[in-house]
Amino acid sequence: MTQTILANATLILPDQVVRGRIHLADGRIAEIAEDASLPAGAIDCGGDLVLPGLVELHTDNLERHLQPRPKVEWPHQAAIVAHDAELASTGITTVFDALRVGSVFTSPNVGYGEYARALATEVLQLRAQGALRISHFLHLRAEICSETLVEEMAKFGPEDRVGIVSLMDHTPGQRQFRDIGKLRDYVMGKRGLSDAEFDAHVESQQALRDRLGALHEATAVAEARRYGAVLASHDDTTAGQVAVSARHGARLAEFPTTSEAAQACRDQGIAVMMGAPNLIRGGSHSGNVAAHVLAEAGLLDILSSDYVPSSLLTAALMLGDLWDDMPRAGAPVTSAPATAPGLTDRGALRPGARADVIRVARLGNASAVRGVWVQGNRIA
């Protein structure tokens, strides 16, 4: 039996902030009390914040560990374990590892190959061995503008812990890259293409979308149902695109690029997720709508750390300052991302919930994670 008591803590409950203690026992939250007592053996938190473990739905962090520099491949098991440890250190206790499905082999300059099935198997094997500290699920990023989406998605099934399938359409001239000039800067800077090579890339991608886009979109929607996964849209820009996402059954919208699309998501009952780095930096690096604009309009439901794991906690604290309401600010990184893919056992400090809990010291505009517990066991 594992038991831990965190006392003299500032507890971020679903609807209020209280000073008190929380008792973790046998993997669950056993008791929450609003009092100033310090029971024998309890950890004195000295007023630090205690809140549910953070839930991350969309992160590219694993890919960064797999390829720490361009053209440098890192051993997969070491990369997965390091990724897991980094997330734990930032207070993330549940992650949906984002893996791209759908590859392009015929483009000599910007092609990319298949990797998701093999990497997913390695993640799941390490999880089964007890080698990972936090809870891992899979998020398949279905690249509509690709050549092999149908074949790659067929290799996954309901047993693979696929919690989310997102419809990723990076066809030049729409959604995130509706501004071809910004796409030109991004691709040419990353790939070192000439103007002629970039123009050929745009033409080939648009032709690929015309030829296979409808099939790939239908396949991704059907496969998400087969897996039992939640469907997410990605980079919706117009109300019309949101309407299509709603007809497909999307329950989550990743990074809508305009206020129009975010409002349409709200009208359709689709949860809106924005990037924590966008909020912290004050805007989108792609020139799309700023997360703080949606937060101020009441159109932001979920935050994702995207490419900076530590940003999730920092952004939640920023929302607390913006909204002057820490329970409300904590929801986009705890209860809301837990609820979106159907995880009802975590994301809130309440008796009976899974004992995924973090202790955090506020340091001005920053924070320091001072303790992380997963199912009541301290892992960081």
**Is residue 122 domain-shared with residue 228, that is, in the same domain?**
yes
pLDDT recorded at residue 234: 94
In sequence order, which residues have a C-beta less than 8 Å from that of residue 369 and are 6 or more positions away? Answer: 89, 90, 91, 313, 358, 359, 360, 380
Question: Any idea what the CATH number is for the domain that residue 167 is in?
Answer: 3.20.20.140
Over residues 221-238, mean pLDDT: 97
**Is residue 187 domain-shared with residue 298, that is, in the same domain?**
yes
**Is residue 134 domain-shared with residue 184, that is, in the same domain?**
yes
**Is residue 103 domain-shared with residue 2, that is, in the same domain?**
no
In sequence order, which residues have a C-beta less than 8 Å from that of residue 17 and are 6 or more positions away? Answer: 10, 11, 326, 327
- Select from 47, 26, 96 the least CA-distant residue to 312: 96
Q: Would you place residue 175 in the very low, low, confident or very high pLDDT band (cuts 50, 70, 90)?
A: low
**Is residue 32 domain-shared with residue 71, that is, in the same domain?**
no
In sequence order, which residues have a C-beta less than 8 Å from that of residue 181 and are 6 or more positions away? Answer: none
- Select from 127, 131, 101, 133 the least CA-distant residue to 114: 101
Calculate ∠ Cα 141-60-359, nearest 5°.
Answer: 120
Question: Any idea what the CATH number is for the domain that residue 376 is in?
Answer: 2.30.40.10
**Is residue 91 domain-shared with residue 190, that is, in the same domain?**
yes
Whole-structure pTM value? 0.92
DSSP category for residue 53 = P
Looking at the predicted structure, is the pLDDT value of residue 247 above 90?
Answer: yes
**Is residue 48 domain-shared with residue 76, that is, in the same domain?**
no
**Torsion sign across C-alpha atoms 201, 206, 207, 211:** positive
DSSP category for residue 306 = B
Q: Which has the minimum average pLDDT: 81-95, 112-126, 190-204?
A: 190-204
DSSP states along 345-371: SSSS--TTSB--EEEEEEETTEEEEEE
Higher pLDDT, 362 or 199: 362
Q: Would you place residue 184 in the very low, low, confident or very high pLDDT band (cuts 50, 70, 90)?
A: low
**Torsion sign across C-alpha atoms 163, 167, 170, 175:** negative
Q: Would you place residue 280 in the very low, low, confident or very high pLDDT band (cuts 50, 70, 90)?
A: very high
pLDDT recorded at residue 199: 67
Contact 67, 73 (CB under 8 A): yes
Residue-wise pLDDT tens digits, 6-41: 999 999 999 999 999 999 999 999 999 999 899 999
Q: Number of folded domains in the chain?
A: 2
Over residues 127-142, mean pLDDT: 98
Residue appearing with tokens 């990972």: 132
**Is residue 337 domain-shared with residue 356, that is, in the same domain?**
no
**Is residue 87 domain-shared with residue 198, that is, in the same domain?**
yes
> What percent of the chain has a predicted confidence (pLDDT) above 70?
90
Query: Which range marks the domain in which residue 75 is found?
Result: 54-345
Over residues 179-191, mean pLDDT: 58
Q: Which has the minimum average pLDDT: 43-47, 107-111, 370-374?
A: 107-111
**Average per-residue pLDDT in the chain?**
92
> What percent of the chain has a predicted confidence (pLDDT) above 90?
81
Instruction: Determine the distance from the C-alpha atom of residue 27 to the mean position of all C-alpha atoms in its chain, rounded to a whole number.
Output: 24
**Is residue 24 domain-shared with residue 121, that is, in the same domain?**
no
**Is residue 40 domain-shared with residue 72, that is, in the same domain?**
no
**Is residue 186 domain-shared with residue 41, that is, in the same domain?**
no
Residue-wise pLDDT tens digits, 287-343: 789 999 999 999 999 999 999 999 999 999 999 999 999 999 999 999 999 999 999
Looking at the predicted structure, is the pLDDT value of residue 116 above 60?
Answer: yes
